[in-house]
Amino acid sequence: MHAATKLSGRYPDPLVQAFEPSFEALILPLAGVERLADGCRWAEGPVWFGDGRYLLWSDIPNDRVMKWDETTQTSSVWRHGSNNANGMTRDRQGRLIVCEHLGRRVTRTEYDGRITVLASHFNGKPFNSPNDAVVKSDGSIWFTDPPFGIAGYYQGEKAEQELPAGIYRIDPDTLAISLISDAVQGPNGLAFSPDEQLLYVIESRSRPRNIRLFALDPGGKSVSRPTAPDLFLSAGEGTPDGFRVDIHGNLWCGWGMGSAELDGVRVFSPESQMLGHISLPERCANLCFGGKYRNRLFMAASTSIYSLYVNTQGC
């Protein structure tokens, strides 16, 4: 692990490419892509802790959660023996929510470090391998459960799939678990629109990969068409994975695979127009917004963590 390294050393950074003029308003001419840390096998699930000025992310095959400290510019192991943690986020009280491949569960880390299991079974059957999670403003936790972690022994432990790949909601008061939809092939990253009227989900086992779109019911606890989500976009040769939405409703998607030109982050408008691309030396699996003003994009890309200051903020 090393201190931040600028990749291009030039402003404006040639690694930040605008496909549409509107993307220029979202980027900064005097900010460039930096590598903050390396040495991972498969970096995923970044989450920002503004109160501590640090970033956590998961290194799934190495069975650990890593930490990058903004004040010291150094990285370290934060949790070893993470049950092959994947996607992570924070709840409305600031506690860490973790999707575990090996544990086949969703957990919450309490303020004193204790771990509370929030979801491990549905209808008496174990989950496959919870992948990614997002917390709604009402405190409910929504997560995806594809079978990736039980397919072998690299990112989890091989096991029989007992539930269809699904999208679930954990009630904030009762912790009751409800199935939102099992109509998405390989549900992966997920995020809400800024007004929380829409739920976007990556469909990672379709060919090509898609981003699906659900409209929420008026109560906000379910979706209106669980068996027939809309198609937001088809990714073509791209491989969207994890993503986040900014305050303008733009989707910042981890991207890559196939060819080096695709590696990085691809940005789309709420109308599914391709706005721009942040090129990285590696495929980007997931990302989050952080920093004091939520205007710093942190990107978990294969073996490394990268960052870029942008001219927007994460929701």
Confidence grade of residue 3 (pLDDT, cut at 50, 70, 90): low
Q: Residue 25: its pLDDT value, please?
A: 98
| pLDDT of residue 5 exceeding 90 | no
| pLDDT of residue 1 exceeding 50 | no
Dihedrals φ, ψ of 174, to 5°?
-100, -15
| pLDDT of residue 308 exceeding 60 | yes
Residues noted as catalytic: 241
| pLDDT of residue 258 exceeding 90 | no
Region 1-30 average pLDDT: 91
How many Cβ atoms sit within 10 Å of the Cβ of residue 227? 8
Q: 196 a known binding residue?
A: no
Q: Which domains does the chain have, with CATH numbers?
A: 1-53+239-315 (no CATH), 83-237 (2.120.10.30)
Q: Are 188 and 150 in contact (CB under 8 A)?
A: no
| pLDDT of residue 260 exceeding 90 | no
| pLDDT of residue 233 exceeding 90 | yes
Please confirm whether the linkage preceding 12 is cis (ω < 30° from 0).
yes
Percent of the chain with pLDDT over 70: 99
pLDDT tens-digit series, residues 116-172: 999 999 999 999 999 999 999 999 999 999 999 999 999 999 999 999 999 999 999
pLDDT tens-digit series, residues 292-306: 999 999 999 999 999
pLDDT tens-digit series, residues 51-102: 999 999 999 999 999 999 999 999 999 999 999 999 999 999 999 999 999 9
Q: 241 a known binding residue?
A: yes
Residue 302 CA to chain centroid, in angstroms? 13
Strand partners, 203: 187, 210
| pLDDT of residue 288 exceeding 80 | yes
Average pLDDT, the chain: 97
Comparing 58 with 257, which gets the higher pLDDT? 58
pLDDT tens-digit series, residues 37-49: 999 999 999 999 9
Print the SS3 string covering the chain. CCCCEECCCCCCCCCEEECCHHHHHHECCCCCCEEEECCCCCEEEEEEECCCCEEEEEECCCCEEEEEECCCCEEEEEEECCCCEEEEEECCCCCEEEEECCCCEEEEECCCCCEEEEECEECCEECCCCCCEEECCCCCEEEEECCHHHCCCCCCCCCCCCCCCEEEEECCCCCCEEEEECCCCCEEEEEECCCCCEEEEEECCCCCCEEEEEEECCCCCCECCCCCCEEEEECCCCCCCCEEEECCCCEEEEECCCCHHHCEEEEECCCCCEEEEEECCCCCCEEEEECCCCCEEEEEECCEEEEEEECCCEC
Region 274-279 average pLDDT: 98
